[in-house]
Amino acid sequence: MDSRKIFNIIAYALIFFIIFFLSTILSFRIILKGEMVTLPNLIGKTFEEASSELTRRKLSVVQTEAQFDTRWERGRIISQEPSPGSKLKINSVVKVILSAGTEKVLVPRLIGRNFQNSNQILKEAGLRRGIVSQVHTSRYAAGRILSQYPQATAEVGSNSPVSVLISQGEREEKYLMPDLIGKKAEKVLAKLRELDFRVEDIRYTSYPGLEAGITIKQFPPQGFLIQKKYPITLEVSKQ
């Protein structure tokens, strides 16, 4: 075999090797590209639903923690990492946080308490005021809470409403609460007491730019129907 023929054979072999090598790289890139999948939105799904959906995409899921959440019931996914729409390689792991449901709190006892203070009591307990109803009764003084729902010591979800029934005292003539804001507290108090209204509490608060002795808050508010036994609270400016 002459040298030219040997050279041609070597050249053809080299060309074949180069073509094979380039084809392998191209095929490998195509395969890698085909292994990328789009991550779906898992928020609101159960762990089992998410696992089933990701398995079809050759992905897996793992729970990292559980958190209290008011939007989703217990066992639903509230967060995922990576975010929906992300491109992932197959066999990647998706991390999720599950809802532990709504945090449970105990309902405080409101019966017999002043209605004015109930909002702060509920706030401190992690609850909020619900429906407010009123009724005439001699069992409690006007402005006192005589019934509540849910009942005291009941376990409810955080931020749940608590409805109350307020005593209006014995049935008697009603009066429209006037606007006392901005008026001299001394004159306001004198007039209320002269008319036999019940001023239960006076609080003094520093109010920049306002002289001392001016009414800056009132309860009940203007326009509220009250009886003479209904407790009135004033907040007055001080130096």
Least confident range from 3-17, 74-88, 112-126, 206-220: namely 3-17
The Cα angle at residue 212 between residues 206 and 213, in degrees rounded to 5:
110
* The CATH number fitting domain 37-99, selected from 3.40.50.1100, 1.10.10.10, 3.40.630.30, 3.30.10.20: 3.30.10.20
How many beta carbons lie within 10 A of that of residue 117, not counting itself?
A: 13
pLDDT digits (tens, 9 = 90+) for 128-179: 999 999 998 888 888 999 999 999 999 998 889 999 999 988 877 889 999 9
Q: What is the CATH number of domain 104-167?
A: 3.30.10.20
* The CATH number fitting domain 175-238, selected from 3.30.10.20, 3.20.20.120, 3.40.50.1220, 3.40.50.2000: 3.30.10.20
State residue 30's pLDDT score: 45
**CATH 3.30.10.20-classified regions of the chain:** 37-99, 104-167, 175-238
pTM score: 0.46
H-assigned helices in the chain: 3-34, 47-56, 115-124, 185-194
Strand partners, 234: 202, 218
State residue 174's pLDDT score: 85
